[in-house]
């Protein structure tokens, strides 16, 4: 068998190979969903992705003879490490064919690079932030993926573990049946909470009406996610960029914002109709007709993917989860939605786990973040 060679990505041609390699790895896997390639070219472009300006990065391909058989990204998030006192190098975007030696070579390449820069722990998969796909799927391979979750092959966790990595943290994904799982008490609790004049729910019927509130949502993320593992607060520029990036994808009917009597954002929840089959049909390409496939799948979907949600710490235990949750359920049912699939929840997030348990949510998928000492 030909020898393995690690090749740093230093050209546009090599980056193209890096971006499109997963399509070859998963060519025979019906449940795989390609990324949106327009986003991929932006994400991996240092001139367009600000994260490159404050993170050390390494992109590697591994070749067996002349054939590329895997890829990986290494990230040292300097601001996060400084804020938390960690000396951590992250690996992300790991993909390879069923070739354990190739996976081991890629992981070793990032490990050696991180050690050379003074890092003492390696974790992953974990990208620039918790908004990127995190962890490797270890349960739920029969289910269709959703946006911003991993879509790895089943052999990859085994390769990572045999390379000396152990579990650091699991992330959980739940499914909620809107007809069977919602407690009968939910609407009664809503009626009681909505009589409180201190809060009201804003609902939206157009992108134009939603646009002025999007940045407030991300500011609320900053105030709410500070204790979650891997979270790094967004600066004003990142908030504007994320707002511009996600606004076109949102259906305003499925965004609920709770504000105080003074108009201050107190809580929000964002869902998008599942568009997996549309992205599959479009093969990850928006142009020339891919966007039509995606929009069509979104309109026909009976599943809503919950992308983000938060309640400001000052207003927790005030029933705001029910206030906006019941409004979202009503909008979803009116649109023919039958199920919610949740965003990832850390297994240490007891508050959210209790909330989903109250809704009768069923564990759907499990993703694992790994760690390894590299002193």
Domains of the chain: 4-172 (3.40.630.30), 179-337 (3.40.630.30)
Provide φ and ψ at 57, rounded to 5°: -135, 155
At 1 the pLDDT is 59
Neighbours of 89 (CB within 10 A): 29
At 229 the pLDDT is 79
The C-alpha angle 203, 208, 213, rounded to 5 degrees, equals 60
At 373 the pLDDT is 97
At 41 the pLDDT is 96
At 243 the pLDDT is 75
Residues 6+ apart with CB under 8 A from 276: 33, 144, 145, 146, 147, 297
Q: What does pLDDT average to in each consecutive run of 10 residues of the chain (375 residues)?
A: 90 98 95 93 93 96 96 97 95 98 98 98 94 92 89 96 97 93 88 92 92 85 81 79 76 93 92 94 93 92 92 90 93 96 90 84 95 95
Q: Is the pTM of this model over 0.85?
A: yes
Q: Where are the alpha helices (DSSP H) in 35-170?
A: 37-43, 51-54, 78-84, 100-116, 155-162
Burial class from Cβ neighbours inside 10 Å (0-12, 13-18, 19+) for residue 350 reads exposed
């Amino acid at each position: 068998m030909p020898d393995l060679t690690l090749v740093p990505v230093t050209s546009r041609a090599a980056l193209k190979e890096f971006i499109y390699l997963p399509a070859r790895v998963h060519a025979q896997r019906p449940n795989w969903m390609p990324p949106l390639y327009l986003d991929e070219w932006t994400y991996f472009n240092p001139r367009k992705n600000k994260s490159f300006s404050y993170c050390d990065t390494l992109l590697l391909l591994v070749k067996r003879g002349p054939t590329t058989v895997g890829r990986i990204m290494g990230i040292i998030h300097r601001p996060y490490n400084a804020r938390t006192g960690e000396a951590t190098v992250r690996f992300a975007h790991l993909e390879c064919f069923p070739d354990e030696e190739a996976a081991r070579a890629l992981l070793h390449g990032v490990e050696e690079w991180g050690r050379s820069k003074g890092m003492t722990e390696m974790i992953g998969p974990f990208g620039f932030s918790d908004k990127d796909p995190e962890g490797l799927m270890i349960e739920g391979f029969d289910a269709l993926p959703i946006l911003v979750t991993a879509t790895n092959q089943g052999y990859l966790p085994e390769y990572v573990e045999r390379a000396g990595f152990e579990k650091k943290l699991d992330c959980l994904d739940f499914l909620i049946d809107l007809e069977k799982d919602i407690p009968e008490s939910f609407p009664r609790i809503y009626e009681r909470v909505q009589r409180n004049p201190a809060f009201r729910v804003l609902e939206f019927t157009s992108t134009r009406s939603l646009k002025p509130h999007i940045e407030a949502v991300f500011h609320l993320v900053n105030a709410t996610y500070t204790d979650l593992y891997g979270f790094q607060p967004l600066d004003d520029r990142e908030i504007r960029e994320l707002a511009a990036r996600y606004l076109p994808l949102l259906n305003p009917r499925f965004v609920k914002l709770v504000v105080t009597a003074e108009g201050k954002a107190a809580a929000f929840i964002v869902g998008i109709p599942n568009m997996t089959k549309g992205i599959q049909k479009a093969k990850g390409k928006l142009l020339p007709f891919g966007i039509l496939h995606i929009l069509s799948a979104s309109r026909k979907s009976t599943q809503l993917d919950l992308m983000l949600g938060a309640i400001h710490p000052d207003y927790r235990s005030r029933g705001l989860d029910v206030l906006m949750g019941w409004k979202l359920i009503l909008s979803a049912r009116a649109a023919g939605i039958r199920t919610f699939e949740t965003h990832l929840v850390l297994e240490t997030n007891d508050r959210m786990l209790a909330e989903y348990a109250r809704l009768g949510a069923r564990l759907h998928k499990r993703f694992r973040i790994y760690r390894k000492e590299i002193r």
